[in-house]
Amino acid sequence: QDPAEGWIHNLPHNIMASVTKTGLACVSALIAASSVAAQDPAEGWMAYAVGKVPAGTDRITRMEMYWTNSKDPVSSSQAFYSPWFGMDPLDNLNLIQPVNPWEGRGWTAYTEYFQWSPVHNSNSDSIRVSAGEQLHGSLIYNSATDSYTLVQTNMASGESSTQIVRCQNGKKYALPYVVYEKVWPCRDYPPDGKVVFSNISVECDGQDCTKDVEWSAEVKDANCDFKANIISPTEISLTWDTSLASAYDNMTRSELVAKNFHGWATKVPSIVEMAARASEQ
């Protein structure tokens, strides 16, 4: 079952060629360690906003948001992290999300499904995005198949990434999130210090409920003064300060990679390669 060595063996040949058997073994161990029983909010979530839908809501049938891709970080090319929005069923075990990771070499965008039990992870094809380009993500329920269509679109290029995710055992999604994930030294994050999710739109049981969702700001793993700011029902920002000291300043790059190598990071070829190299140091 996932996560398995097959994830690594399905990587592009140029990446496989650069990863030794020792590196593969270490990466496989890291992936296995990341699959221990848990649920959302997961390790590495820093600032996040969580929404409470109106009483009596059966499920969220549609959620959409727009945001602008951040600037490239000034410091490390080896860090990886992501702002994203998404939603879970009330048991917090089946996350669907359009994600926007910095992968150590550049920004990408795609959609992800992460299931905690049994562990399963699927990503749609990655598309490239550049600083300043606008992204649009949507999660749309299909009643005929009891599934969601996950879409991530680069509005500048028109390129989209999508996948369809069936609801596990008829679970109903009613817990929305806006999150910044993965802990690194503050200097490694984008110099903007802010990403704004705007034009937020939510439908509950097929009816617009955007203004009725009660958002609250939370912090799980405090770092770099990351905060979620509820500006209005249609706008939420995540902010941080790159000038601050961090609890992670004295960790080696190998230790940082190992700490953050879980969830969506285990399915990104460039990050898998980075983890393999770090494990050999």
* pLDDT bucket at 132, cuts 50 / 70 / 90: very high
Q: Please, which residues bridge with residue 82 across strands?
A: 181
Distance between CA atoms of residues 266 and 3, nearest Å: 8
Q: What is the pLDDT of residues 8-50, one digit of tens each?
A: 333 333 333 433 444 444 444 444 444 445 799 999 999 999 9
Sequence-separated (6 or more) residues with CB below 8 Å from residue 159 = 127, 153
| One-letter amino acid of 167 | C
- Phi/psi for 263 (5° steps) reads 65, -135
Taking residue 156's Cβ as centre, other Cβ atoms within 10 Å add up to: 13
Residue 145 DSSP class:
T
Q: What is the pLDDT of residues 138-148, one digit of tens each?
A: 999 999 999 99
User: Tell me, what's the pLDDT at 32?
Assistant: 44
User: Tell me, what's the pLDDT at 17?
Assistant: 40
Q: If you search the block for the tokens 């020792």, which residue do you land on?
A: 22
Q: What is the pLDDT of residues 199-246, one digit of tens each?
A: 999 999 999 999 999 999 999 999 999 999 999 999 999 999 999 999
Taking residue 10's Cβ as centre, other Cβ atoms within 10 Å add up to: 10
Q: How many residues are given for the chain?
A: 281
Residue 111's Cβ-count burial label (10 Å; 0-12, 13-18, 19+) is: buried
Max intra-chain CA distance, the chain: 54
